[in-house]
């Protein structure tokens, strides 16, 4: 224990009190110095660059000894103005932006946005079955990859690096599938208003079956590692407590709400993309704590595997974009020696034989389609909760206003309710159980 009476290196007096700049090794010195001062209140600023705060999240904790008396979150460090940017792009280009919001759930962002545009266009029922099946398939794969990151980073923050390694190992399998299907590991812009950008490449079904088999083998490993582990249970049980009344007041949805025992899931309550025809369960627990949320995420991944299997069986050949040529992207994509691009047949047609096809292609790509004026709200059950999109059109070729109600943003508000009165170390566990992704929080 440091008994020095010297002031630690980074200390300065301000009108708000003494400010210490602590980076690690000098903690003891600082504590000794602070103990000598009259002010008993210590406010710890954690983040925004702290490995345990899930990206650039800043936590401001007022502590009394090891107890957190007040907790506040500072956000906005990752604000990129995506909603404003959307107002300067066509409706189709919008998917390229929204996929980058919550970068761990790109397909949910794309699907929610596209469902909104489709409702404004009045083409919800025209989206082909195959497109809907693939949307469901991708969303469930996405649920698995998002939950895996939640569990992996949560484990890492507890010091359980094996959980982290396992989680990212399995997520890698999902990302391989994304790469196979969309060409990219993230930022896909694969779901488009009216359908999908392209069909599944050959070999996808085999890869999916292989993946399901692998995951059925790997998922029980998390059970074996964590579920019964006394250290893991001691750190998570009764931590991050938020009961049903608290969830409703704070608008918390997703695993947090279901950990309070309410089986609310938009896939069942307000089905979209044909979810009403799939056979799956909405798991709940009534522990209201971080441990319950961990168990839920595991079970939800098992349910997602069930849905993925059903999707594989339902993949019938057919179009993946609406038939309306005034909306559907004109280019037929094909894989060439230099990557994916307009198919040679399509180029030959528009450049060589049909002037009208060329004009059509040009107009749709540069101007885009017009969407009748009005506003809609569409929501999907993302891995983190209700992801809602408020889309307003003024009848033009660009969105007039798009607002994302990101579940991470809303759920993060409950951090204070979960942490105040608890230990400093438990703040990490509580925040990990909320699973906020700052790309979605700040947009």
Partner 1 sequence: MSAQANGDGPQEPDEGSSVPVQRGNAGEVIEVRHGMFGARNGGDTSGYGGLVRTVRMPGESVRPYGSWFDEVADELEGALEEQGLAPENAVEKTVVDRGELTFHIAREHLPQVARTLRDDPALRFELCTGVSGVHYPGETGRELHAVYHLRSLTHNRLIRLEVTAPDADPHVPSIVDVYPTNDWHERETYDFFGLVFDGHPALTRILMPDDWQGFPQRKDYPLGGIPVEYKGAQIPAPDQRRSYT
Q: Which residues in this chain contact partner 1 in the complex, by CB under 8 A? A: 75-76, 79, 81, 83-85, 87-89, 119-122, 126, 248-253, 262, 264, 269-270, 323-324, 326-327, 367, 369-377, 379, 386, 388, 390, 392, 394-398, 400-401, 403, 405, 409-410, 412-413, 442-443
- What's 201's DSSP letter? P
Smallest distance from partner 1 to CB 319, Å: 14
User: Of 122 and 341, which CB lies nearer to partner 1 in the complex structure?
Assistant: 122
User: Of 2 and 248, which CB lies nearer to partner 1 in the complex structure?
Assistant: 248
User: Of 294 and 409, which CB lies nearer to partner 1 in the complex structure?
Assistant: 409
End-to-end CA distance of the chain: 44
Contact 369, 326 (CB under 8 A): yes
User: Of 74 and 334, which CB lies nearer to partner 1 in the complex structure?
Assistant: 74
Cα–Cα distance for residue pair 8/26, rounded to 1 Å:
7
Cα–Cα distance for residue pair 99/120, rounded to 1 Å:
20
Cα–Cα distance for residue pair 105/99, rounded to 1 Å:
8
Closest CA to 54 of 120, 200, 153: 153
DSSP per-residue letters across 291-343: HHHHHHHHHHHHHHHHHHHHHHHH--S--SB-S-TTTS--PPEEEETTEEEE-
User: Of 183 and 251, which CB lies nearer to partner 1 in the complex structure?
Assistant: 251
Distances (CA, A) of 359 to 306, 322, 333, 349: 45, 20, 18, 12
Smallest distance from partner 1 to CB 359, Å: 15
Smallest distance from partner 1 to CB 408, Å: 11
User: Of 328 and 428, which CB lies nearer to partner 1 in the complex structure?
Assistant: 328
Beta strands in 75-119 (DSSP E): none
- Per the DSSP assignment, residues forming a β-bridge with 192 are 195
Residue 396 contacts by C-beta under 8 Å, 6 or more apart in sequence? 370, 371
Cα–Cα distance for residue pair 414/434, rounded to 1 Å:
8
Smallest distance from partner 1 to CB 441, Å: 9
User: Of 154 and 399, which CB lies nearer to partner 1 in the complex structure?
Assistant: 399
Buried b (16+ CB within 10 A) or exposed e, 42-53: beeebbbeeebb
Smallest distance from partner 1 to CB 325, Å: 9
Q: Exposure of 25 by Cβ count < 10 A (0-12 exposed, 13-18 middle, 19+ buried)? A: exposed
Smallest distance from partner 1 to CB 1, Å: 38
Smallest distance from partner 1 to CB 189, Å: 17
User: Of 237 and 370, which CB lies nearer to partner 1 in the complex structure?
Assistant: 370
Q: Which helix (H) or strand (E) holds 389?
A: strand 385-393
User: Of 80 and 187, which CB lies nearer to partner 1 in the complex structure?
Assistant: 80
Contact 293, 256 (CB under 8 A): yes
Smallest distance from partner 1 to CB 402, Å: 9
Smallest distance from partner 1 to CB 26, Å: 29
């Amino acid at each position: 224990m440091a008994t020095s009476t010297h002031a630690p290196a980074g200390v300065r007096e301000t009108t708000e009190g003494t400010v210490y700049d602590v980076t690690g090794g000098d903690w003891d010195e600082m504590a000794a110095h602070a103990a000598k001062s009259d002010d008993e209140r210590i406010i710890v600023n954690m983040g925004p660059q702290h490995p345990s705060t899930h990206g650039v999240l800043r936590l401001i904790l007022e502590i009394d000894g090891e107890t957190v008396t007040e907790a506040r979150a500072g956000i906005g460090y990752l604000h990129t103005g995506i909603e404003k940017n959307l107002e300067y792009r066509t409706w189709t280009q919008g998917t390229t932006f929204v996929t980058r919001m919550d970068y761990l759930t790109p397909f949910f962002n794309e699907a929610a946005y596209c469902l909104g545009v489709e409702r404004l266009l009045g083409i919800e029922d025209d989206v082909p079955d195959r497109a809907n099946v693939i949307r469901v398939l991708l969303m469930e794969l996405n649920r698995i990859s998002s939950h895996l990151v939640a569990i992996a980073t949560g484990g890492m923050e507890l010091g359980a690096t094996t959980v982290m390694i396992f989680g990212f190992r399995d997520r890698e399998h999902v990302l391989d599938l994304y790469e196979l299907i969309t060409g990219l590991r993230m930022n896909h812009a694969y779901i488009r208003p009216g359908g999908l950008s392209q069909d599944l490449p050959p070999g996808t079904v085999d890869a999916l079956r292989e993946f399901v088999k692998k995951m059925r083998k790997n998922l029980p490993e998390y059970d074996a590692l964590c579920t019964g582990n006394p250290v893991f249970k001691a750190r998570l049980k009764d931590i991050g407590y938020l009961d049903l009344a608290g969830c409703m007041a704070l608008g918390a949805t997703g695993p947090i709400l279901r950990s309070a025992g309410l089986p609310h899931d938009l896939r069942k309550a307000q089905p979209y993309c044909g979810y009403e025809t799939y056979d799956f369960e909405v798991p709940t627990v009534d522990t209201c704590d971080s441990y319950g949320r961990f168990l839920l995420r595991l079970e939800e991944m098992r349910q997602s595997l069930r849905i993925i299997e059903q999707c594989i069986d339902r993949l019938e050949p057919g179009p993946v974009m609406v038939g309306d040529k005034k909306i559907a992207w004109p280019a037929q994509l094909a894989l060439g020696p230099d990557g994916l691009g307009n198919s040679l047949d399509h180029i030959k047609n528009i450049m060589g034989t049909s002037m009208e096809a060329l004009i059509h292609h040009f107009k749709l790509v540069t101007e885009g389609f017009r969407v009748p004026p009005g506003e809609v709200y569409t929501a999907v059950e993302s891995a983190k909760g209700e992801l809602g999109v408020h889309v307003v059109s003024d009848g033009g070729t660009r969105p007039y206003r798009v607002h994302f109600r990101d579940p991470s943003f809303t759920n993060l508000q409950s951090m204070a309710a979960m942490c105040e009165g608890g230990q400093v170390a438990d703040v990490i566990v509580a925040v990990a159980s909320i699973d906020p992704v700052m790309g979605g929080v700040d947009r």
